[in-house]
Structure 1
Amino acid sequence: MNDWSGVAEAFMLGGWVIYPLSLLAIAALTITFDRAYVWWRYARTPRDGDASALPGRHVLRRLDAQMGDGNLPIWRIEAQIEAAASQIERDMSRGLWLLETIVTAAPLLGLLGTIVGMMHSFRLIGGDGLVNPSGVSGGVAQALVATAIGLVIALVTLFAFNYFSRRVERLMDELEMFANKRLGDLRLARENGGAAS
């Protein structure tokens, strides 16, 4: 319980900058958990490679649906697959721009807290030569707490952003391989059907 009172005290020392930093932390955690769920639910790779056992909104099912019944011209199927892949990339990347913004904004807000805390400390030194030691140390503490919290938020968010960005890149590569395989099978079936007749 003593640890929690220390955390609460540190937040109180951080000053008003802690409030926007807390909002950034909540937004980063919300987006991270949302993206983790979306990736787990709609983009995990099937164990046996069978896309039919996956949920209806799974990325492979969405791409597979663009094949239709196979009677469309190949160029039309390719165009549909490209459009679906672009939409999938947008859907899976949703919110990553905000994570990237938080990576930049959190340390800057922490730095703002540092400046405000140091200004508070220097103001207490005053022109009379009178120094309030507890006030000066409180301003320095405010500066350090705000900076530390901003850096922690930025580091955690940076790892989440990089992880999901890399997953999007890998997913697009996998979707391209999946589509090329299906299109190759369709072309082969049409060539064999044309040769048989």
Structure 2
Amino acid sequence: MNHWNDIDATISAAGWVLYPLTGLAVAALAITFDRAYALWRFARVPDVADASDDPALAVERLPRGHALRRIAPFFADGALPIPQIEARVEAAALRIEREMSRGLWLLETIVTAAPLVGLLGTIVGMMHAFRLIGGDGLVNPSGVTGGVAQALIATALGLVIALVALFAFNYFARRIDRLMEDVEIFANERLAVLRVAAERGGRSGAAR
């Protein structure tokens, strides 16, 4: 019971700044869970290290909407010229990167906004504490300590939220970079196959 009383007292001491900080924390968690699920479902790269495993079959086993599965059909149309296939793949890769990065701008904003909101609570709490100091000295010791507690708690909460959002943002940014590298590798491999086939076809036609 004392533990819950301490938590309630801490929340009460944080003051009004707890509400915007709570909103930032909820937004950061929502974006984190959403991007974690999206990257887990649509950005996992199939393991095709086994030579007996056909890469095309591995891609087909991926869930619908996966990044690699979205660009694979471009290489199935042999009637298109290679430059046109490259242009379509590049456009699809840009759309994939934009979709995978959805909401990360807000997460990056929270990294900066949370400490500033906490700092605002710090300033308000210190102003409240200093107003209780009269011209003849200390008037209300409990009020002064409450204002200082509000200032410190607001700063601590803002820093904690910013740290969590920062780690999540950096992790997702790195995962997206790796995804785009995998997409580029996959596309280059398929384009190399198409170029070799086109060269062989040209040589066969010239021989005839």
Which blocks of at least 5 consecutive residues in structure 1 are unaligned?
none
Q: Shift of the alpha carbon at 1:53?
A: 0.3
2:175 corresponding residue in structure 1? 167
> TM-score, structure 2 length as denominator?
0.91
Kindly report the root-mean-square deviation, in angstroms, between the aligned alpha carbons of the 2 structures.
Answer: 1.3
Count of residue correspondences: 197
- 1:16 and 2:16 aligned: yes
For 1:120 and 1:180, how far apart are their aligned partners in 2? 63
For 2:92 and 2:21, how far apart are their aligned partners in 1? 37
Please say if residues 66 and 84 of structure 1, whose CA atoms lie closer than 8 Å, have aligned partners that are also in contact. no
For 1:118 and 1:51, how far apart are their aligned partners in 2? 59
Which blocks of at least 5 consecutive residues in structure 2 are unaligned?
49-54
Q: Shift of the alpha carbon at 1:128?
A: 4.6
For 1:151-166, what aligned pairs fall within 5 Å after superposition?
Answer: 151-166=159-174
Q: Shift of the alpha carbon at 1:193?
A: 2.1
For 1:5 and 1:41, how far apart are their aligned partners in 2? 42
For 1:48-197, what aligned pairs fall within 5 Å after superposition?
Answer: 48=48, 49=55, 50-197=58-205
For 1:58 and 1:96, how far apart are their aligned partners in 2? 19
The runs of 4+ residues in structure 1 deviating greater than 4 Å are: none
Provide Cα deviations, 1:137-166, integer angstroms capped at 9, x if missing partner. Answer: 000000000000000000000000000011
Counterpart amino acid of residue 90 in structure 2: E
Counterpart amino acid of residue 8 in structure 1: D
For 1:55 and 1:153, how far apart are their aligned partners in 2? 33
Tell me the secondary structure at the aligned position of residue 56 of structure 1. coil
For 2:64 and 2:184, how far apart are their aligned partners in 1? 19
Counterpart amino acid of residue 90 in structure 1: R
Tell me the secondary structure at the aligned position of residue 137 of structure 2. coil
Q: Shift of the alpha carbon at 1:38?
A: 0.2
